[in-house]
Amino acid sequence: MKVSSKRRFVVLAVFGVIGLIFIISLFRLQVLDPTYKQYATNNVLREVTQYPARGLVFDRNGKLLVYNKTAYDLLITPREVTKFDTTLFCNLLDISIEDLDVGIKKATKYSPYKPSILIKQISPERFAVLKEQLYKFQGFRTQSRTLREYSTTAAAHALGYVGEVSNRDIKKDKYYKSGDYIGVSGIEKTYEKQLRGVKGVKKNLVDVHNRLQGSYRDGKEDIPAQIGKNITSTLDLDLQLYAEQLFQNKKGSVVAIEPATGEVLAIVSAPTYDPGLLVGRVRGKNYSKLLADTLKPLFNRSLQAKYPPGSTFKPMNVLIGLQEHAINTNSRFTCSGKDSRPIRCTHNHVTPTNVVQAIRESCNAFLWNTFRAIINNSKTSAEGFNAWHDYVASFGVGQNISSDFSNGLKGDLPTEADYNKIYGKGHWNALTVRSLAIGQGELGVTPLQMANYGAILANRGYYFKPHIIKEIENDTISQSFKIKHEVQIDKKYFEPVIEGMSQTVHNTNLVYTSKIPKIEMCGKTGTVENNHGSDHSVFVAFAPRENPEIAIFVYVENGVWGSRYAAPMASLMVERYLTDSISTRRKYIEKRMIDANLLNPIQPK
């Protein structure tokens, strides 16, 4: 026991040594070491988020479409607020005392210590006045944010808009914090990651009175914000503006594509709206107003409207017939005009017609015979129909071809199963589904898909997915835009069809309204039956005939005849795009188109 009891000194020594080490360390830390004295004058650290400016958007010729303007948020840290002149405060910010009370209560509930946004998006003019008075208000500070600004009112649907992140967005991506902005639709949504940049953090030292004392560790730990990448879109601002002007007081859609690349030159959904309405503090109010509008300006017809294509679909059926050897270039079918069965032909023309004439005259009898031959080319109607279906699908109909558009739809292309369900297996044939011959019936095609179809005709058999982005600064665009999609039609079958489309423009009444001087445009009109008002006016075209530079699809709701509005409007847009102007003797057509008001669904025949 004697030995053991001496060991108490070892234990006591251990205690003593640790105590001594602590005293020495604390003396060094608290008395000698000046590093921690830098913070000794009541300095505290404050992190400020640095918001990057969003990337700019340009048109294909480098014209600015979307840029940024600065706005300021006013933040409140409730614990730091001392008594202040609320009347002056409310006057400076143009808010009511009640709003202020509610705002302060909300912020306190969130956190008494952390700053939260009290008032959003104060304009630079108001901010300038506020800044001089801000020293009177303890516990308030400002941070700058950028808002979108648009150089014109054009392309609202394509550009999309920016809004505050939802709780879903925050959950999905940890980058976002409450109050951040995110692209909600259009290019802003699809290219959000590239446009938004990366937020940064600046660490400041402030004293207890919230006065800035300088940056923490000379900014060594600051993370600078990275500005968003600029984007060059494929849109041609001039053509886009012109198309929107032509479409004023009308409903419908235009999509124009450069056939050689799939680049979208113009995309209009009418009626459209001013994208500036969905920016800043007025966004919520304007959004509900637009949502309530019976003309549905927020509905993006060019990507989401499922229109029956009508007669514009006829070239495709003829191509399929030729490829399937159901008909050949010498085939002729008799037309009995209004007495034609099972589909009447309303067009007065020569008979019998060959391929070129049939397309020129839009002969329903020829198309019915062609369609029947395609369906009956196989052992059963179903097999024949499936062959037809696969050809049509290869044109992108019923497929999602909207590569970098945020909300494109697939449209409707009926399948064998659909008809089996309606009529019963084996209980339907070419006659039952005859409407498909003339582009009616169960077909639903979006304007984007129809313009792409125009590009396929222009290219004689292939397309690149239509897309809206040409270049991203310091980045690459998707490789999928460069993949060539071939349709299942041999190139040689296109010539007679294209000849027919050329004659449509030059050898019918269209020559008076839609022939462009010195440019050979090939097109096909369509008049889509409508039970709720006047028929719709449709036109698909490309120009020039050799080495086409533009393919276009125009859909004018309640436009009565394909030749009345859609074709002349398309011809004007093509002329404007290819020659930068409208020839003098066509000015009166331009005026008639712009002035036409088709918002009433019933139009005189």
List of residues contacting other proteins (CB under 8 A) = 3-5, 7-8, 10-12, 14-16, 18-19, 21-23, 25-27, 29-31, 33, 35-37, 39-40, 42-45, 112-113, 208, 221
Would you say 34 or 62 has its CB closer to other proteins?
34
In the complex, least distance from residue 45 CB atom to other proteins, rounded to whole angstroms: 7
Number of H helices, E strands in the chain: 21, 18
Would you say 5 or 531 has its CB closer to other proteins?
5
Residue 371: count of CB within 10 angstroms of its CB: 27
In the complex, least distance from residue 220 CB atom to other proteins, rounded to whole angstroms: 11
In the complex, least distance from residue 14 CB atom to other proteins, rounded to whole angstroms: 7
Would you say 3 or 292 has its CB closer to other proteins?
3
Would you say 24 or 129 has its CB closer to other proteins?
24
Would you say 17 or 102 has its CB closer to other proteins?
17
Would you say 6 or 532 has its CB closer to other proteins?
6
Token couple for 299: 């509905």
Angle between helix axes 237-246 and 587-595 (nearest 10 degrees) is 60
Please report the sign of the dihedral spanned by the C-alpha atoms of residue 574, residue 578, residue 580, residue 585: negative
In the complex, least distance from residue 107 CB atom to other proteins, rounded to whole angstroms: 15
In the complex, least distance from residue 176 CB atom to other proteins, rounded to whole angstroms: 20
Residues facing residue 542 across a β-bridge: 522, 551
Would you say 56 or 205 has its CB closer to other proteins?
205
In the complex, least distance from residue 51 CB atom to other proteins, rounded to whole angstroms: 20
Would you say 37 or 484 has its CB closer to other proteins?
37
Residues facing residue 69 across a β-bridge: 147
Distance, in Å, from the CA atom of 188 to the CA atom of 74, rounded to the nearest integer, reads 26
b/e for 434-456, b at 16 or more Cβ within 10 A? bebbbbbeebbbbbbbbbbbbbb
In the complex, least distance from residue 459 CB atom to other proteins, rounded to whole angstroms: 56
142 to each of 54, 117, 129, 299, 567, how far by Cα in Å?
Answer: 19, 9, 13, 37, 55
Residue 548: DSSP 8-state: -
Residue 2: count of CB within 10 angstroms of its CB: 5
Distance, in Å, from the CA atom of 401 to the CA atom of 467, rounded to the nearest integer, reads 9
- 536-543 and 485-486: which strand pairing? unpaired
Would you say 17 or 295 has its CB closer to other proteins?
17
Q: What are phi and psi of 330, to 5 degrees?
A: -100, -5
In the complex, least distance from residue 25 CB atom to other proteins, rounded to whole angstroms: 5
In the complex, least distance from residue 400 CB atom to other proteins, rounded to whole angstroms: 43
In the complex, least distance from residue 182 CB atom to other proteins, rounded to whole angstroms: 26
350 to each of 118, 126, 342, 508, how far by Cα in Å?
Answer: 75, 73, 19, 12
Q: Cβ(527)–Cβ(562) under 8 Å? A: yes
In the complex, least distance from residue 239 CB atom to other proteins, rounded to whole angstroms: 51
Would you say 16 or 124 has its CB closer to other proteins?
16
Token couple for 363: 């002969």
In the complex, least distance from residue 72 CB atom to other proteins, rounded to whole angstroms: 25
Would you say 45 or 97 has its CB closer to other proteins?
45
Would you say 174 or 532 has its CB closer to other proteins?
174
Would you say 33 or 418 has its CB closer to other proteins?
33
Distance, in Å, from the CA atom of 515 to the CA atom of 187, rounded to the nearest integer, reads 35
In the complex, least distance from residue 11 CB atom to other proteins, rounded to whole angstroms: 6
Q: Cβ(357)–Cβ(410) under 8 Å? A: no
DSSP 504-531: HHHSSTHHHHHPBTTB--EEEEEEE--T
Nearest to 565 by CA among 527, 529, 508: 527
Distance, in Å, from the CA atom of 202 to the CA atom of 195, rounded to the nearest integer, reads 21
First to last CA, the chain: 122
In the complex, least distance from residue 23 CB atom to other proteins, rounded to whole angstroms: 6
412 to each of 398, 407, 484, 500, 594, how far by Cα in Å?
Answer: 5, 16, 23, 27, 32
Would you say 27 or 84 has its CB closer to other proteins?
27
Q: Cβ(530)–Cβ(599) under 8 Å? A: no
Distance, in Å, from the CA atom of 237 to the CA atom of 57, rounded to the nearest integer, reads 11
